[in-house]
Amino acid sequence: MTDVFSWQHMEYVVPIGSNEHRKLLDEVTGYAAPGKLTALMGESGAGKTTLLNVLAERQSTGVVSGDRLVNGQALPQDFQAQTGYCQQMDTHVPESTVRESLLFSARMRQPASVSEREKEEYVETCLKMCGLEDYADALVGSLGIEHHKRTTIGVELAAKPKLLLFLDEPTSGLDSQSAWAIMSFLRSLADNG
């Protein structure tokens, strides 16, 4: 079965003073289907990151209303464990290698029932998927922006999200050639599940 993530009538209201509130999202509806890249587009300040955070259940203040669904059903209890989230301002330990970064994610976020060997093998698969084989032993702090972004995506993939991968501005800060390479890579990920 292919899982469709959808959202309906999403609203997000945050407090801005002692008795004041501001509605940041108003009646937003959409969906993301397997094998598809779904883009949130709009001008700066339009609420793209806000919507992404609300959809991924990463907001820490305010009141969210509306429905987030998987296959028409309420989100599973382990929704966040089934998804990955790549922040725009990705942070990594600069003294770690790319492989160490992915392995740390796999060890911390995959179930304890998965053996160490399986985690290590999956990290190698992720390195290949992300085009990072030649950079596996490079320090993350030495990487250029494109390979840093690929590492961020690899770290999330190493956690083995089975439902969805959220990416906040994956091409931010990249030149046109690197942005094209990242989008081609993401298209390949979507095509191959």
How confident is the model at residue 2, as a pLDDT? Answer: 77
Q: 175 and 86 in one domain?
A: yes
Q: 93 and 65 in one domain?
A: no
For tokens 């820490």, name the residue: 60
Q: Return the amino acid letter for 152.
A: T
Cα angle for residues 175, 176, 179 (degrees, 5° grid): 85
How confident is the model at residue 21, as a pLDDT? Answer: 94
- pLDDT of 1 over the 60 cut: no
6 confidence band (pLDDT: 50, 70, 90)? very high
Q: 118 and 155 in one domain?
A: yes
For strand 83-86 and strand 21-32, is the pairing parallel, antiparallel, or unpaired?
Answer: unpaired
Q: 84 and 29 in one domain?
A: no
CATH number at residue 147: 3.40.50.300
Element (H, E) at 7: strand 5-15
23: phi then psi, degrees, rounded to nearest 5: -90, 115
Final residue before a domain boundary, out of 54, 75, 96? 75
Which of 2-6, 88-92, 122-126 has maximum average pLDDT?
122-126
Give the range among 4-8, 25-29, 132-136, 172-176 with minimum mean pLDDT: 172-176
Q: 97 and 138 in one domain?
A: yes
Residue 5: which domain range?
Answer: 1-75
Mean pLDDT calculated for residue range 42-68: 94
How confident is the model at residue 88, as a pLDDT? Answer: 86
- Count: domains in the chain: 2
Q: What is the mean pLDDT of the chain?
A: 93
Q: What pLDDT digit, counting tens, does each position of 152-189 carry? A: 999 999 999 988 999 999 998 899 999 999 999 999 98
Contact 147, 182 (CB under 8 A): no
Q: What pLDDT digit, counting tens, does each position of 61-116 carry? A: 999 999 999 999 999 999 999 999 999 888 899 999 999 999 999 999 999 999 99
Phi-psi region of 72 (alpha: psi -120 to 50; beta: other; left: phi over 0): left
- pLDDT of 143 over the 80 cut: yes
Nearest to 187 by CA among 121, 144, 129: 129
